[in-house]
Amino acid sequence: MKVLTVIGARPQFIKAAAVSRELRERHEEVLVHTGQHYDEEMSDVFFEELGIPEPDANLGVGSDDHGAQTAEMLVGLEDLIASERPDAVLVYGDTNSTLAAAIAAAKMDPALAHVEAGLRSYNREMPEEINRVLTDHAADRLFAPSARAVENLAAEGVTDGVRDTGDVMYDAVLWARDRATDRSTVLDDLGVDPGEYVLATVHRAANTDDPDRLAAVLDALAADPREVVFPAHPRTVNRMREHGLYDEARDRLTLTDPVGYLDFVRLQDAAAVVATDSGGVQKEAFFLDTPCVTMREETEWRETVAAGWNTLVGADGEAISRALASADPPADKPQPYGDATAAAAIVDGLDDV
């Protein structure tokens, strides 16, 4: 069988790396990079570190407004599907690259398979929520990371082709954890000790594009008595500069460029607490037994909150500070995201398309 995989943004490289290792044992994979992320530290570093094969095609779309970016991907992907004639198109998560591939595949012959199906934040203001709902409703195979994701789909009448595979990021993080401990020098490089620092990431449009929210988040992080390591997404650096917040942030936080996967897993594993608005980071912190403070009003990874390992604080400075100071998750941690065999389950689920 021929599977055309479409990836384009940082978290998709990490998830696809785990699945590709299994997929290529059984099937032919054509790997397409849309070019949504293109900086060395947002893209190339993951291909090198995770041993992802060179993409067969790179659409090179770059950054743009949502409509223009998605449309350019759609045109390129339609051509590729027509020339490659895959049996299935495999997409990940909820980015514009996901949606473009879903629309292209749904109108053509191949089956559409969606990894991370069924996630819902129920916040339609998030571009990702639109992308994931539309992709799920176009998909033929829906690989859900949890029982709750399966329920979310059922509540929307989507039951055909749904399979609870567990979460592929669990596979990814377990692959990386020991390698990161052995190989990463990031703690020494930054001069931080395990358990002594906060690790922060911010990149959601809702936080970066609103100057008041971004200022509140940065202030609350800087007020923590511990060192705050902040590998900043390029979007966030741009907005900090536009809003006149960059110099102060650089003085009060340990701002770095985005780091590679092994360094980031090491930083998450050894942090006292993680503060983020990322989807993937919430889960990885959970898998690595590091408490998480999520600077959003809601999350699609609600199991982590129910388990007491993740606290939702929005962009409320006092709530952020309080949660960082008091993060104390229960000793018992459920495993709602499977047993780190999602990649194999996803490839099994493609067998009969």
Is 286 a binder of ligand UDP (CB under 6 A)? no
Strand blocks (E) in 1-140: 2-7, 28-33, 57-58, 88-92, 111-115
- Residue span 227-266 as binding mask against ligand UDP, x where in contact by CB under 6 A, dash where not: ----x--------------------------xx-x--x--
5, 34, 96, 299: which one binds ligand UD1 (CB under 6 A): 96
Query: Strand, coil or helix: what is 238?
Result: helix
Asked whether position 201 contacts ligand UDP by CB under 6 A, the answer is: yes
Contact between 150 and ligand UDP by CB under 6 A: the answer reads: no
Give, as ranges, the residues between 147 and 206 that touch ligand UD1 (CB under 6 A): 203
> Any catalytic annotation for residue 33?
no
Binding of residue 136 to ligand UDP (CB under 6 A): no
Q: Output the CA torsion 282→284→286→290 (10° steps).
A: -100
Site for ligand UD1 contains 36 (CB under 6 A): yes
If one asks whether residue 224 binds ligand UD1 (CB under 6 A), the answer comes out as no
Q: How far apart are the first and last CA of the chain?
A: 9
Q: In the complex, what is the shortest distance from the CB of residue 264 to ligand UDP, in angstroms, rounded to a whole number?
A: 4
Q: Report d(CA 220, CA 268) in Å as an integer.
A: 19
Binding partner of residue 231 among ligand UDP, ligand UD1, none, CB under 5 to 8 Å per kind?
A: ligand UDP
Distance separating alpha carbons of residues 203 and 232, to the nearest angstrom: 8
Q: Is 290 exposed, middle or buried (0-12, 13-18, 19+ CB in 10 A)?
A: buried
Of residues 95 and 304, the one with the C-beta less far from ligand UD1: 95
Interaction between residue 95 and ligand UD1 (CB under 6 A) = yes
Instruction: Find all residues with CB under 8 Å of 248, minimum gap 6, and list them.
Output: 218, 222
Minimum CB distance to ligand UD1, residue 27 (Å): 27
Cα gap 90→160, rounded to integer Å? 17
Catalytic site residue from 33, 37, 114, 203: 203
Site size toward ligand UD1 (CB under 6 A) is 18
E strands, the chain, in order: 2-7, 28-33, 57-58, 88-92, 111-115, 141-144, 162-164, 197-201, 227-231, 254-256, 273-276, 292-294, 310-312
Closest approach, Cβ 10 to ligand UD1, in A, equals 4
Report the interface residues with ligand UDP, using CB under 6 A: 10-11, 14, 201, 203, 231, 258-259, 261, 264, 278-281, 284
Q: Known catalytic residues?
A: 203
- Contacting positions for ligand UD1 (CB under 6 A): 9-11, 36-39, 42, 63, 94-96, 127-128, 203, 234-235, 238
